[in-house]
Structure 1
Amino acid sequence: MRYLGFATLVFLMGSWLVARDQPIPWEQLYKKDGIEVFRAKLSGSKFVAFRGTATISTTPDLIVDVFKDAPRWKEWTDLLLSGKILEPRKANHLIFYQAFDSPPFIRDRDAVYDVHFKKDPSSGIVTVVGKSREYPQAPETVGVRMDIDFSRWTLTPKDGKTYVELEMHADPGGWIPSWVVNMVQRDYAYDLLFALRRQAHKILRERNLN
């Protein structure tokens, strides 16, 4: 759902990247504004997984900077109430919290993410993966704490641009029927990638002016 916000960001839907014996059976839903959206039905889950791809005219490192810039998350994360890094364990390992506004009559959602960043030194490909986790110092939930089963961003540099791939699967929790969640999440990957691309270009323009 759109209120999953950065959640996918990460990050990032165990083990902490869910191992699957078979390739995920992605089905393309549509292509719009240079963004391709896919979905897949996963065995044992009533919620579908989503995948999105897009090309962004910047480097993987700048996109990672966007991911880590908590004070500016609201600039590109839909319905974000609050968010912060709870623990910067290492430069490539963060624990963060995000809370999201929900429509009327539905309790707000939040999540705690354990996020890992990895860059391949030879190819320059960056992967950002993670999942939900328990964290005693996390804020009290604003309503329902979501379970991010898996999420993975792959940032591949090519010809001065970055090919971005996002895969995620999440349970928003609560009483919302699965068919409603699946219907609303249909555009989640598109919305997130569109917003990420816009924010990355904004940051790039700001840096070029300095």
Structure 2
Amino acid sequence: MNKLQLTLALCGLIATGVQAEDWQLAKDEAGIKVYLSSMPGSQYKAYRGVITVNADIHKLLALQADVKGSCAWIFECQEQTMLKSAGAENWLYTRFSAPWPVTARDSILHVTTTVAADGTVTRLLKALPEYLPKDKDYVRVSRVDGFWTLQPKAAGKVEVIYQAHMEPGGSVPSWLANSFVVDAPFNTLQAFRQTAEKP
């Protein structure tokens, strides 16, 4: 399979893995737009955050490649470590904080990176909840289907899209779930941009 075929295959996985329809704008603030969509068979909505960052794409990729450091701009991230790396594929373990009385979460993500002919970078996210034994102090996120895309624009700008649907596992109050699907993409993208645009 060549690079083009792999990219097309991953685009197909993205389309089928996050089967969201009828995106509705939920927040438009500080140059960040957050859209939500209901998911068939799930009580949790999918989210899509869109932002333009004034930075070189190589700087953005370096920030995302810094597994431990990226925890500083990922919403509610406590810590993050690389479990395994093989070429364009990475396996990440992340712990997330949660407001009382909700139990903190952890997740294992398989991240596959591709580069299109126009320079757009796509990072496909897929949860592997059984990859490691569960920690009794954390509830394992049972499902994540999502992606990041970084598309270079003119004059040193990059359009960044962060989209995901997840099943957090365990019990989550509706108020927290409804807040998370807006706060996660908005706060993550805002912090990502602030970090990327620092001199």
Instruction: Say whether 1:127 aligns with 2:122.
Output: yes
RMSD over equivalenced CA pairs, Å: 2.3
How does 1:1-210 map onto structure 2 within 5 Å? 17=14, 19=16, 24-90=21-87, 92-120=88-116, 122-134=117-129, 136=131, 140=135, 142-159=137-154, 160-202=156-198, 205=199
TM-score, structure 2 length as denominator?
0.84
* Bigger relative contact order, structure 1 or 2 (CA pairs below 8 A, ≥6 apart): 1
SS at match of 1:19: helix
Shift of 1:30: 2.5
TM-score, structure 1 length as denominator?
0.80
Provide the C-alpha distance between the structure 2 equivalents of 1:77 and 1:183, rounded to a whole number of angstroms: 16
Q: Is the 8 A contact 1:110 1:142 kept in 2?
A: no
Q: How many residues align?
A: 187
Q: Is the 8 A contact 2:20 2:39 kept in 1?
A: no
Runs of 4+ in 1 over 4 A off after TM superposition: 20-23, 134-139
Identity in percent: 26
Q: Is the 8 A contact 1:16 1:131 kept in 2?
A: no
Q: Is the 8 A contact 1:127 1:155 kept in 2?
A: yes
In structure 1, the gaps of 5 or more residues are: 1-14, 206-210
SS at match of 1:149: strand
- Which stretch of the first structure deviates more once superposed, 32-41 or 75-84? 75-84
Q: Is the 8 A contact 2:81 2:92 kept in 1?
A: yes
Change (3 A) 1:139 1:20: closer
Provide the C-alpha distance between the structure 1 equivalents of 2:110 and 2:42, rounded to a whole number of angstroms: 22
SS at match of 2:58: helix
In structure 2, the gaps of 5 or more residues are: 1-11
SS at match of 1:44: coil
Q: Is the 8 A contact 2:17 2:146 kept in 1?
A: no
Q: Is the 8 A contact 2:151 2:158 kept in 1?
A: yes
